[in-house]
Amino acid sequence: MTATRVLVLNSGSSSVKYQLLDMRDSSRLAVGLVERIGEESSRLKHTPLNDGGASRERTESIADHAAALQAVAEELAKDGLGLDSPELAAIGHRVVHGGQSFTEPTVVNDAVLAEIERLIPVAPLHNPANLTGIRTARALRPDLPQVAVFDTAFHTTMPESAARYAIDVETADTHRIRRYGFHGTSHAYVSRATAELLGRSPEDVNVIVLHLGNGASASAVRGGECVDTSMGLTPLEGLVMGTRSGDMDPAVIFHLMRVGGMSTDEIDTLLNKKSGLIGLCGDNDMREIRRRIDEGDERAKLAFDIYIHRLKKYIGAYYAVLGRVDAIAFTAGVGENSAPVRKAAVAGLEQLGLAVDDELNAVRSDEPRLISPAGARVAVAVVPTDEELEIATQTYALVEA
Ligand code: AMP
């Protein structure tokens, strides 16, 4: 029997998201989520998709990631999709930070684990959880290839001119300070899918990808390769996000320390968790912000305007970086669903060949689609992202080879 299934694991500090895919047709066999790992009332939600079964939920204490994966394995087994099946080809793991070491998906061995561990100082929140996920899965199926797919990998093609901060080179190199970028799996998938939507090969197309979720990032992709992206050493740089500030004068931090008497951790929390849309208006959900604007709420309106202003600046900047732009692609929660954000982001950019058709922009669909007027110089597209499929595809390509 040929092994064609791939389990994709996205391990966070207290959660594990998973999907089991069949790579013969990229179909989903099961999806699920374990939350509140380590707490009294952990929750596992499992949805089998192979024969139309209903979702199942378990609420119990799940002590750690090993127990979480064991519970996932039990649920999968109930649907005849057990992890001991010879049909399982590999497990693909999302790993947030691959630094400069990992430019491609990589089959995990001890040296790879050690390197992901060495990168913890640049991704203290994410890499430890990702490592735990890999180690746990490895213990469960030691014979199976485990593949690490890095959020940073797609951005490793950025030239030094875009990847380096203008600070002392030795200091930067000593502490591995540079712009790595994140959401790479999404930018890779969406830029390729956009070329496909245009009926062209990725090598021939220049795309600006706007990944607008709770976290948000933009990238400039020339002929399938990333040449710039808005997130940096960490996911804090760039666009205004749900709870992150994005770009800011770094001296704000010195000011908060010297004048505001805040500690490093307090400032970290302020900028990562209490800024962006939530800091500006108390809400980070774009639906709620739009609702408030419709009711005449000034704070919500200002938050929206700041969000759009930054977005527009990045569109202009990446237009200049690329020189020629064939398409702009909106993706993730806000990008895929918020017609007002898409309209406002390109409003006034007709000189750059950018416009949206209101009727097309209003259409709701899960399919990639164009929203620019017929004959527009630059295609404006909505392209739903699929990071799990991209991780599964990259994982399968590696183990099949
Ligand atoms: P993500 O991180 O990609 O899951 O995106 C989550 C964000 O998408 C939420 O915080 C909302 O701001 C936004 N979002 C989700 N659904 C909608 C919608 N129907 N309209 C506008 N924004 C949405």
Torsion region of 364: left, alpha or beta (phi above 0 gives left; psi -120 to 50 gives alpha) = beta
Contact 282, 312 (CB under 8 A): no
Distance in angstroms (rounded) separating the CA atoms of residues 43 and 37: 8
| Confidence (pLDDT) at 1 | 64
Taking the model in full, what pTM does it have?
0.95
CA dihedral 250, 252, 256, 258 (to 10 degrees): 80
Q: Which of 64, 84, 110, 151 is catalytic?
A: 151
Question: What's the gap in Å between 173 CA and the centre of ligand 1?
Answer: 37
Helix axes 298-322, 339-346, angle to 10 degrees: 60
pLDDT (tens place) for every residue of the chain, 401 residues total: 689 999 999 998 899 999 999 999 999 999 999 999 999 899 999 999 987 779 999 999 999 999 999 999 999 999 999 999 999 999 999 999 999 999 999 999 999 999 999 999 888 888 999 999 999 999 989 999 999 999 999 999 999 999 999 999 999 999 999 999 999 999 999 999 999 999 999 999 999 999 999 999 999 999 999 999 999 999 999 999 999 999 999 999 999 999 999 999 999 999 999 999 999 999 999 999 999 999 999 999 999 999 999 999 999 999 999 999 999 999 999 999 999 999 999 999 999 999 999 999 999 999 999 999 999 999 999 999 999 999 999 999 999 88
Domains of the chain by range and CATH? 5-150 (3.30.420.40), 200-387 (3.30.420.40)
206 in a labelled binding site: no
| Confidence (pLDDT) at 68 | 94
241 in a labelled binding site: no
Pocket test for ligand 1, best of 209, 278, 286, 387 (most atoms within 8 A of CB): 286
Q: Is 151 among the catalytic positions?
A: yes
